[in-house]
Amino acid sequence: MHEVLHEQLMSMARHVRDPQNNAPPPGIEPRRLAVYRRLFFGNVDSLLAGCFPVIRASLGAQRWQALIEAFFADYRCQTPLFTEISGEFVSYLEEGGADALELPAWLPELAHYEWVEAALLLSDSSEPDHDPEGSLLDGTPVLSSLAWPLAYQWPVSEIGPDFLPNDVPDQPTLVLARRGVYKNIHFSRLAPLAHALLMSLQERDCSGHEHLHALAEAIGVHSEDLLPQGLALLENLRAQGVVLGTRI
């Protein structure tokens, strides 16, 4: 009995997800199955449309519908939480799940860029212990867990219905996404040096001197020449709350 019920439920789920390729379970009216389909698909469509408004507007109604139908039919989410489905949608695109639809090459990066806002807003990350007044040169600077340096090949902050690029630009788009004290999300463009410093802070625990020395070596300048600019940048990041202070 248990196995029969399980197979009936799976048959129904397969049909609701992809009615074109899966026969309906016996004994259920097509009208009722269509109601289930509209409810389930409508919820996912509404959720993703709210999370990815730029993608929806840029693709247009027909291609957006085809994309969401393909995601709904093919992808196996690893979470039951509706708040995390947008992240699953990004994974679907990054893994090439929609390649058969021949959608724009910039789509996975734009999806990630739009997802970041919701991810930061919902993040429950706690900040590490730190000394807000510590020396950013002698101590180990602490980057806020709610400040994310990002890099994209495509100009994700500019893409929209009126700008749909065909070619990857020569320079990447470097962005800092961060959540403010009132849970407002800020996006700002970064210069290459600022992005490199933030990535260094994210990846390595060492003194500000060591971070700046490594950056100076990477760009081929003397540490002493980079030090004033680097210290000013660190202090500016602390004033913005991006750098919290130094590790205790």
Tens place of pLDDT per residue across the chain (248 aa): 567 666 666 666 676 677 777 677 776 777 777 777 777 778 889 999 999 999 999 999 999 999 999 998 888 877 778 789 999 999 999 999 999 999 999 999 999 999 999 999 999 999 989 999 999 999 999 999 999 999 999 999 999 999 999 999 999 999 999 999 888 999 999 999 999 999 999 999 999 999 999 999 999 999 999 999 999 999 999 999 999 999 99
Q: How many independent structural domains does the chain possess?
A: 2
pTM of the model: 0.87
Q: Are residues 79 and 10 in the same domain?
A: yes
Q: Are residues 54 and 153 in the same domain?
A: no
Q: What is the pLDDT of residue 4?
A: 65
Q: Are residues 77 and 136 in the same domain?
A: no
Write out the residue range of the structural domain in which residue 77 sits: 1-103
87 within some domain: yes
Q: Are residues 196 and 150 in the same domain?
A: yes
Nearest by Cα to 240 from 164, 108, 146 = 146
Q: Are residues 40 and 135 in the same domain?
A: no
Nearest by Cα to 192 from 165, 158, 229, 225 = 229
User: Which of 71, 88, 103 finishes a domain?
Assistant: 103
Cα separation, 64 vs 56, in Å, equals 6
CATH code of the domain containing 149: 3.90.930.50
User: Which of 88, 103, 118 finishes a domain?
Assistant: 103
- C-beta separation of 114 from 54 below 8 A: yes
Q: Are residues 97 and 137 in the same domain?
A: no
111 within some domain: no
119 within some domain: no
Q: Are residues 92 and 141 in the same domain?
A: no
Q: Are residues 159 and 224 in the same domain?
A: yes
Q: What is the pLDDT of residue 75?
A: 83
CA atoms 34, 39, 45, 46: torsion sign: positive
144 within some domain: yes
Cα separation, 134 vs 116, in Å, equals 30
CATH code of the domain containing 72: 1.10.150
Q: Are residues 248 and 131 in the same domain?
A: yes
Q: Are residues 32 and 91 in the same domain?
A: yes
Q: What is the pLDDT of residue 136?
A: 98
Q: Are residues 132 and 248 in the same domain?
A: yes
193 within some domain: yes
Look up residue 203 and give its two tokens: 């990846």
Q: What is the pLDDT of residue 29?
A: 72
Q: What is the pLDDT of residue 6?
A: 62
108 within some domain: no
